[in-house]
Amino acid sequence: MIKLSVKTMRVVGKLFFVLALSTIPSSSMQAGRLSPLLSKIAQALECSQKESNPRWKLERTEPIRPNENVLIEMFVSGGRRVKVSILEHESKAEAIETMRRGVADKSAKALLKLGDEAYSWGYSDAIAFRKGNLTVYVSAVSDIDALLPMLDQDERTSLRRSEEVAINKSLARTIANILSALDQACQPMDRV
């Protein structure tokens, strides 16, 4: 076993940190690889969060397969994280088939008035919906244990599930509205 001094370990740690930072692509680098439609959606999501409540911080995430045409955003706010993945398919028919395959093995429930078709499933009702040739996936995680440690475990579990279900529905509706009015997403709202 090799013994390193504290100073050497700090230098090695800093080198690993710099190396890790240098290998993470910036948002602008990923945006260059996105299709024009997904780039426009990314910009619209950023604009929508400037006046949102709660105020979400957006963190762009790289897809597992770099050549995949997908926009992955993490919405982060006060112990809550929501992963939103938006995939652009070659055609509407391909998007429909992707939705059909995606919900076939799950006990999915159909949702009304969300995109062209929508489903929820799982403990926290993760949501998948389709709008034209786009498929959108929304899945929230709440760290209620850290936020409300004074509650007993059953209360925290119930509250976590309720909050995650509500966040999934709310953010999915927000994104569906943005996709329906994509050209107006970054225009200032007229105040009455």
Write down the pLDDT at residue 171: 94
Residue from 89, 91, 96, 145 nearest 118 by CA: 96
- Residue 23: pLDDT band with limits 50, 70, 90: very low
Quote the tokens at residue 182. 């994509």
Encode pLDDT of 149-161 as tens digits: 788 889 888 999 9
- 113 DSSP 8-state letter: S
Residues of 146-162 as b/e, b for ≥16 C-beta within 10 angstroms?
eeeeeeeeeebeebbee
Q: In the prediction, which pLDDT does 31 show? A: 40
CA-to-CA distance for 81 and 120, rounded, in angstroms?
18
Residue of 33, 101, 98, 93 whose CA lies nearest to 63: 33
What are the structure tokens assigned to 3, written together?
């013994």
> Residues of the chain with pLDDT > 70: what percent?
80
Level-2 CATH architecture, domain 25-184:
3-Layer(aba) Sandwich (3.40)
Query: Residue for token digits 């709008």?
Result: 131
Dihedral of CA atoms 44, 77, 60, 46 in degrees, nearest 10, equals: 20
Question: Residue 118, Cα to own-chain centre: how many angstroms?
Answer: 16
Does the structure show a pLDDT above 70 at 167?
yes
Lowest mean pLDDT among 19-28, 109-118, 167-176: 19-28
* pLDDT at residue 106 greater than cutoff 60: yes
Q: Tell me the residue type at 101.
A: R
pTM of the predicted model as reported, rounded to 2 decimal places: 0.77
Within 56-186, where are the H helices? 92-104, 144-147, 153-180
Residue 172 has pLDDT above 90, yes or no: yes
Cis peptide before 54 (omega within 30 of 0): yes
Compute how many other C-beta atoms are within 10 angstroms of the C-beta atom of residue 46.
15
Indicate the helix (H) or strand (E) that contains 109: strand 109-111
CA quadruple 58, 41, 115, 190: dihedral positive or negative? positive
